[in-house]
Amino acid sequence: MMLGKKQLLINGEWRDASNGKTQPVVNPATEEVIAEVASATPEDVDAAVQAARAALEGPWGTMPARERGRLVYKLGEQLMAEADEMARLETLHNGKPITESRHVEIPMAAECLQYFAGWADKVHGETVPVKGGQLVYTLREPVGVVAAIVPWNFPLLIAIWKVAPALAMGNTVILKPASQTPLTALKLGEMATNLGFPPGVLNIITGSGSTAGQAIVDHPGIDKIAFTGDTSTGKGIMKSAADTLKHITLELGGKSPNIVFADADLDAAVRGATMGIFYGKGEVCAAGSRLLVEASIKDEFLAKVADRAKKMTAGDPLNPKTRLGAISSKSQMERVLGYIETAKKEGATLLAGGERTDIGTGKGYFLQPTVFGDVTGDMTIAREEIFGPVLAAIEFTDVEDAIAKANSSIYGLASGVWTKDIKKAHYVASKLKAGTVWINTYNVYDTAAAFGGYKQSGFGREMSMHALEYYTQVKTVWVELA
């Protein structure tokens, strides 16, 4: 299935990269090239910045907030009107099951656009009581030209988490999707153009992180970078952006603990543990990749988790019945397999999976759901983000031991707690160093609820009214009245 050649969207126009170069997009389920997309140069990035600046100072900047909100809302409506096609594209370039794309992620993205559209005319300044004879008031203004650099695991949804609040607050946007998964971002740009967004408001730049991404980070005309990706890249962006003092928000890696106490509803916890690591093939920032289990139930509980993992089989991602799709790329599959081999060498006990598999075609980057027991905190799979369907089970003895082991990571994105004791649940939640704590559930989200990390999982927040803080800036105005 070849989708043809895709161009950059700059200033409302589709154009080739300035040097004419392209790069392939591969379907991870078939290993076939399904599209060629433009590989942007620094010159292309500069053109996008100029277009975004012109729109900011022109039609977008002068558009009434309520009208701006209506356009963002319509983009959400259009996304749902074309949900089938958008979901197909998401699955084709990422390998995730079509059911996840169509019934979870696309609706969540549309809801996010519509949620933030409603904020467009509701964020405003205030008057400040000061001593003396002055009137003091504040204005809440856009940050300016925002660059959204997004990863390959939730290509559209994470893009919308940034694009929606940025546009609603009156910023203009340069969206840089991951080189592996650019198709839904390009389709989003097409929708916005067709709906009448002024040229330059939403620009789509495809290409490599080393060239296009770095040009975005270095460009002095970009006011803010909103990045989701691995921690090492986030650190590099932070260092480079210091030269131009850009605003930055970073949603980075995770090694999230999913804590199961002996008094939990064990059947529910088993389901939560498996869904927490195997949804999205484990390619989820907040995946519950460290399963902390109380010693008295460890053997029973892990047997149940391993049994569920063994029953999960990979399938054609475009089949609505499939629940386990393809790893997003060959390099990512090889990376995950490397972690599995390291875990074996370091003494972890393989309870399920651990191998590459296929769906009968002999093609595709498919892995078995993998469960390791007898994992200790110093093992590589307990410390490093794998970003794949690999679960590391760690034993704990009591509440304080669980908290200590949960917090022993450099990351702090998310966490889970399973117990019927509500006092214990709230106590543990208060002690966990993580941006999200799920109690007796896992991996649930809502646009109204903030999401983001502690420690080396980054800073800033996605979704909710708190995200608005990162796409606006405050101006104070003093008026002499005396």
Q: Which of 251, 385, 395, 462 is catalytic?
A: 251
Known catalytic residue at 112: no
Residue with tokens 């080393």: 210
Contact in structure between 55 and 201 (CB atoms under 8 Å):
yes
Q: Which of 111, 112, 285, 395 is catalytic?
A: 285
Residues with active-site annotation: 251, 285
